Chain A
Amino acid sequence: MKIVTICGAGIGSSGILKVNAERVLQRLDIEADVVAADIGSVRAVAEDAQVILTSAEFVDAIGPTFADVIVIVNHFDQQELAEKLERALG
């Protein structure tokens, strides 16, 4: 499974989401590749992704996708990440 984290520059917030998503997935015993990307390359990077994690600001810019788009409010809150990931993957 592939999960893509998206932000404006592909550094910073998408990196935080990647790192914390990997920690949560490990705890949930779910195997996935988590890739951080900038909004400009979302189409190419997320083509084969099942889940896109991002901030509310980027939802419209992501455009049509087969992936579940999950909006994260507090990027450091592993409980929020865990609940939203479980809902999307369960």
Chain B
Amino acid sequence: MTLPPIPDDAIVLGATASTWQEAVRTAGSALVRSGAARPGYSDAMVRMIDEHGPYVVIAPGLALAHARPDDQVLATGLAVVTLATPVEFGHPHNDPVRVVLGLAVDSVGGHLESIADLANVFNDTSVIVVLADAASPDEVRSLMGVSSL
């Protein structure tokens, strides 16, 4: 298993966000709390979507927020945010979003194994719906097949 561990600090369940920016920043704060990123990483994730559009909404209900590896990334890490109320990112097909994953990677080259594991989890797309209703961090970790540290 090469997905990074997801500590409690990196999981926010039932978060309230009225805009996609708030939803992405919640994932950014979780990455900061768990030691994966500096606060500027949230801005960088929002900037990616401002610049390129809502392409990070890669499946129905799921956004994979991320930015480039740079000095705002301290370690490769993953954050999971579920939203109490679904949020529109402006994606023509995959809105509204109920689960925001925040991804920080410390190098472009090193992230593909983690991505392959992420694909293993979500190639069964029914996982997104179950994950959106997860009641505890342990349930999130169990669905994603990761540890807490």
How many angstroms between the C-alpha atoms of A19 and B123 in the bound complex? Answer: 11
Cβ-defined contact, A73 with B123, below 8 A: no
A9, CB-defined interface residue at 8 Å: yes
How many angstroms between the C-alpha atoms of A55 and B55 in the bound complex? Answer: 6
How many angstroms between the C-alpha atoms of A37 and B105 in the bound complex? Answer: 15
Cβ-defined contact, A73 with B94, below 8 A: yes
Given A11-B68, A16-B115, A77-B125: A39 and B105 within 8 A (CB)? no
How many angstroms between the C-alpha atoms of A11 and B116 in the bound complex? Answer: 12
Query: Among B17-25, B58-66, B138-146, which stretch is in contact with chain A?
Result: B58-66
B residues 54-103 with Cβ under 8 Å of A?
Answer: 54-56, 58-60, 64, 66-69, 92-94, 103
**Which residues of B lie under 8 Å from residue A11 when comparing CB positions?**
66, 68-69, 103, 105, 108, 111, 115
How many angstroms between the C-alpha atoms of A39 and B54 in the bound complex? Answer: 14
A72 vs chain B, min Cβ distance (A): 8
A26, CB-defined interface residue at 8 Å: no
Cβ-defined contact, B112 with A7, below 8 A: no
Interface size band for B: 20 to 34
Cβ-defined contact, A12 with B52, below 8 A: no
Given A13-B55, A16-B64, A16-B119: A8 and B108 within 8 A (CB)? no
How many angstroms between the C-alpha atoms of A61 and B67 in the bound complex? Answer: 19
Q: Which of B66, B112, B118 contacts A9 (CB 8 A)?
A: B66
Given A16-B58, A76-B58, A77-B59: A56 and B119 within 8 A (CB)? no
A76 vs chain B, min Cβ distance (A): 5
Top-6 shortest CB links A-B: A57-B53, A15-B115, A55-B55, A75-B58, A57-B55, A8-B52
The 21 listed contacts between A and B (C-beta, < 8 Å) are A7-B52, A8-B52, A11-B66, A11-B108, A11-B111, A12-B64, A12-B66, A12-B103, A16-B58, A16-B119, A19-B116, A20-B119, A20-B123, A55-B53, A56-B55, A56-B92, A61-B52, A73-B94, A75-B58, A76-B122, A77-B59
